[in-house]
Structure formats: structure tokens, C-alpha cells
Amino acid sequence: MEKETVIEVVEKLTGSCYPYGSTEIDKERYENLELKEALFTYLLEEIAEAAKFKDRPEYSIKEIGIEAYDYLKDKHEYLKEYFEEEEEEAEEWLWIKQDM
């Protein structure tokens, strides 16, 4: 199955988690978020387990381990940058608020 097809199926099964601004809709989207968090945790743990094989001597096992490890490392950098930007924005708001 193509990656895009899997993503479309998962999105249809889990629904949107973007806030809408309506209590009823946001209640459903909150539940969708919890479902996506559970799925994400499961997938993250599975990929982390596969990453443990990156140093194995068998080529095919090592290849999977390296791919999983590299993926996790890339997402780690993404999250690190995300939280650094969040902290910078929070500091900017603090300065703006103090100047008021």
C-alpha cells in the first residue's frame, strides 16, 4: 500500500484534531487527538525498538535499524527546533507584555 493511501485511511479513521472553536466539534476533535496520541505512541515505540538493531551485522536487519534510528534522530531535531521556537515566541510575548 502506498504511504499516501495509508495516511488517508488513518486520517479518515481518526478524524481531525485541529480546534474549530465550537464546543461540540472541539469535544470530538479532542477525542481524535487522544486517539492520534495513542497511535503515535505505539508507532514511536515500535520504531524505537527497530532502531536498536542499527549495529547488527546482518545487512537487512541493520538497514532497518539505521532507517529507524535516522528517522528518530530527524524527528528529535524537529521537536527540539519546535520547542526552541515556542520558547522564543513566549519570551517575545513576555517582553511585549512588559512594555505595555
CB 42 within 8 A of CB 53: no
pLDDT of 70 above 80? yes
Type of residue at 3? K
Percentage above 70 pLDDT, the chain: 93
Type of residue at 43? L
pTM above 0.85, yes or no: no
pLDDT of 91 above 80? no
